[in-house]
Amino acid sequence: MRKPLIGLATGLNKEETYLQVNNGYMRALENAGALPVVLPLTSDQEMLEAMIEQMDGILVTGGGDIDPAAYGELTSNACGPVETLRDAMEIPLIILALQKDKPILGICRGFQSMNVALGGTLYQDLPTDRPQSKLTHRQKQPERFPAHTVDVEEYSLLAEIAGTPFLHVNSLHHQGVKELAPLLRRCAVAPDGLIESFEYPEHPFFLGVQWHPERMWQNDNNSMKIFKAFVEACRIRP
Ligand code: MN
């Protein structure tokens, strides 16, 4: 049987000489029955359209911060290093995936990119912008261990995938969703009120998660369910 071809949007190393991708994404997708491939880092419109046309699905991976200019804010002192080349590729790619009904999964930075692409905004640094939160979103324990829970919204895509009212998730982010883009629907919320997952309800599969299931799937069935559901959605060509 033909394996769904899934293109990974990823970033460069600090010296800007290598594309880098956490092997966890590749291995989780392979285990879920897909053929994952790394996409070139480009904002050329013809290339982006070819990606949407020729891939069965797109995974927008984690990474550095999004340039606050992309959501109309000045860069605060607490904002981390930004990846503007990725912004220039991923924002139009996400919009194309939305327009063409192409399954897309966003993880961490990818989740934040999806919100920004659709007109949402971000907290540039959670400890600075939400000092009232008692939850740490940047865990010190190994990445495969959960750091906090999220409540899953009833009848959401994530509820359908996980089949449980809450999940134990890891947490490796210092930014987060401030204003959710108008057309997105909340799928999961952390105990401090931070949105950790959303979907685009009218789309075949447009899901973002703030946590990193690619670093938990070997020990956590709910993480694997996300990759499996995504790959199954990619089997159906629009
Ligand atoms: Mn978190």
Looking at residue 1, its pLDDT comes to 85
Catalytic residue among 79, 83, 90, 108: 108
Query: Ligand 1 center to residue 108 CA distance, Å?
Result: 9
**Buried b / exposed e along 59-98 (16+ C-beta atoms within 10 A):** bbbbbbbbbbebbeeeeeeebeebbeebbebbbbbbebbb
Distance CA 4, CA 21 (A): 19
Ion ligand 1, residue ranges at CB < 5 A: 137, 171
Enter the tokens of residue 132: 């009232």
What's the pLDDT score for residue 237?
66
How far, in Å, from the CA of 44 to the mean position of ligand 1?
33
Query: Given this model, what pLDDT does residue 236 score?
Result: 82
Listed residue (204, 203, 207) closest to 195, CA to CA: 207
Query: How do the pLDDT tens digits run along the chain, 238 residues long?
Result: 899 999 999 999 999 999 999 999 999 999 999 999 999 999 999 999 999 999 999 999 999 999 999 999 999 999 999 999 999 999 999 999 999 999 999 999 999 999 999 999 999 999 999 999 999 999 999 999 999 999 999 999 999 999 999 999 999 999 999 999 999 999 999 999 999 999 999 999 999 999 999 999 999 999 999 999 999 999 986 5
Catalytic annotation present for 214: yes
Active site residue 212: yes
Contacts of 198 (CB under 8 A, 6+ apart): 111, 114, 115, 177, 180, 184, 185, 186, 187, 207, 208
Angle, helices 23-31 vs 221-235, to 10°: value is 70
Distance from residue 150's CA to the centre of ligand 1 (Å): 8
CA of 160 to the centre of ligand 1 (A): 21
Token pair, residue 197, equals 């997952």
Catalytic status, residue 187: no
Q: What is the pTM of this model?
A: 0.97
Q: pLDDT value at position 238?
A: 53
